[in-house]
Every structure is written in C-alpha cells, then in structure tokens.
Amino acid sequence: MAKMNLLQAINNALDIAMAKHDNVYSFGEDTGAFGGVFRATSGLTEKYGRHRNFNTPLVEQGILGFANGLASQGSYAVAEIQFGDYIFPAFDQIVNESAKFRYRSGNEFNVGGLTIRTPYGGGIAGGHYHSQSPEAYFAHTPGLKIVMPRNPYMAKGLLLSAIFDKNPVLFMEPKRLYRASVGEVPEEEYTLELGKADVVKEGKDITVLAWGAQVEMAEKAAEMAAKDGIDCEVIDLVSLLPWDVDTVAESVRKTGRLVITQEAPITGGFASEVAATIQDQCFLYLESPIARVCGLDTPYPLSHEKEYFVDHLKVYEAIKASMTY
C-alpha cells in the first residue's frame, strides 16, 4: 500500500496499463512531456516514449476522432479532454461515433478500447468555463459507460477497469479532489467493477445517494444528521451508465426515504433519472417525496460560487426535511 492523492492514483493506473500492453496510448492537450495541466500524465512520456504519451492539437473533435480510429484498430486509446467544459466540440464524435460504432457495424467493428478522461466539477473558483458537470448529457446515450470516482482507491481500480473494458468509457474525474483526496492505495494492479454502486455507510432511517466529489458532501451531511439521531445510509453510485438500480432500490425499501445530490443543475440532471426509477420501483415503500439537492439552473458563477455550490449543509437540510415530512 502507498499513500496517494487522486491524481497520483490516476497516474499510477495509466503507468500500470501502459506497462501491461504496448498498445495502450495516452494523449490530449499538453499531456505529453508537460504532463497535462494537472500533471496526471507526468513521467509517462519519459518512460514509454513520445509515440505512446503525446500532445494533440487543441481540437477536441479531432482528439476523439483520432481516438475512435485508434481504438477501432484494436488499440487501447486513453484520450484526455483537458476540462469537462470543453468536451462539447467532441460531442458528435462521442455520441454518434464512439457510442454507436459497434451497433452500426453489426458487431463487426467496435471502439471498446476507448477511454475518455476528463476533469469535471466546481469548488475551485474556476468560473463558468471550468466548473461544469456535464455527465447527464452523455447518460442519455446508449453504448457508453460513465464512471465518476470519489477517492484515490476508487479512481485507480475503476480506471484500470475502464481502460480494458470492452466498451467506450467516459471517465470523469472530480478535479476539486485531485490533490485534496488522499488515501491508501495498493501499488499493484487491481480492478473495481463498473456499474456497481458502493454502500459507503449503512443506515436505517434515510438513503443519501451521490457520485464523484459529491459523496464527500453526503458523508458530511450524514455525520451532522447522526448528531440529531438520524441514521443515514450513504451510497456512492460510482457508475452512471449503467447504474446500479438494485442496490439503490434495496436501500430505499429499507429506509423509505431518499435524498439524491449532484453538482450539476437540477433540471434534466441524472438525479431526476434516479428519482423517476426509484419511485417506480419503490413507490409503496416511500415515506416522503424523493428529494434532489443539486446545482442551480444558472451558469456556474464565479463571484457567487459559495452560494451556488451544493455543500453538506444543503444536503443536511434536505435530510431533515425528508425526516419531518
């Protein structure tokens, strides 16, 4: 075991993958010798050469077009989009090419070796172009997998699973936790199952569901609620596509209450999909309406980030409201 922050865990996963197969390639804007703006790919060019970890032009559509071609030829393509906010020029390549490649060819061809890494989320004073959480745009797309880790241990195991999964994976990294989240991580290779939620804390009174960096807010809110005698079950959804309906539904049948929290704006967010599915599966078990604690329906503000940010206090208030409904 070694103590790593989330960035180091990601770098370690990339290192292991590239050492394991000589057809694993990592690339993106400034990801070569510079190591990327967050240094997630530091040392990989020196270790594996410029032909395996390299810079691309500043054109996101081109990055994904190239990645699709590389993956379609049997390589493992790990493409970095520098910020999740800038993934939209590549939207067509991802939703119309990556996600549909296998389907439109009748399984003759695929880009299963594609992994798209991108940092997402706020809390870093990044303003409206460096703070967005765009996961819901892609969760509407059959053919993709979406993974959002919460800590270094999860990040390493999930990234290794994503790279060698047989489907294209969008791997969204919580940049607020890149250096803030530190934990013990096995130095050897290990994988974690995609599509499986993680029960972070068991409880009997109410289920609190989150993913990525927002799990920390759920845990802090649960600690506050515990002082009021409320026993929260905290679940990390981990994967949004596919998502683990059974684990969440089982929890809600036990507790009768559900609070879902996400960084993204409330309208059309993935929390809405979870709420609709769980009320369908657990309607007769619910003791109160399913609550969503989300970002506001505005661009992410720089000057009012503290008011906008979905912190633990907002989640705590939702827990209290659900318990007293």
Q: Catalytic one among 29, 97, 130, 219?
A: 130
Q: 130 an active-site residue?
A: yes
**3-state SS of the chain?**
CEEEEHHHHHHHHHHHHHHHCCCEEEEECCCCCCCCCCCCCCCHHHHHCCCCEEECCCCHHHHHHHHHHHHHCCCEEEEECCCHHHCHHHHHHHHHHHCCHHHHCCCCCCCCCEEEEEEECCCCCCHHHCCCCCHHHHHCCCCCEEECCCCHHHHHHHHHHHHHCCCCEEEEEEHHHCCCCEEEECCCCCCCCCCCCEEEECCCCEEEEECCCHHHHHHHHHHHHHCCCCCEEEEECCEEECCCHHHHHHHHHHHCCEEEEEEEECCCCHHHHHHHHHHHHHHHHCCCCCEEEEECCCCCCCCCHHHHCCCHHHHHHHHHHHHCC
Q: Catalytic one among 29, 60, 216, 219?
A: 60
Q: 223 an active-site residue?
A: no
Catalytic positions are 60, 130
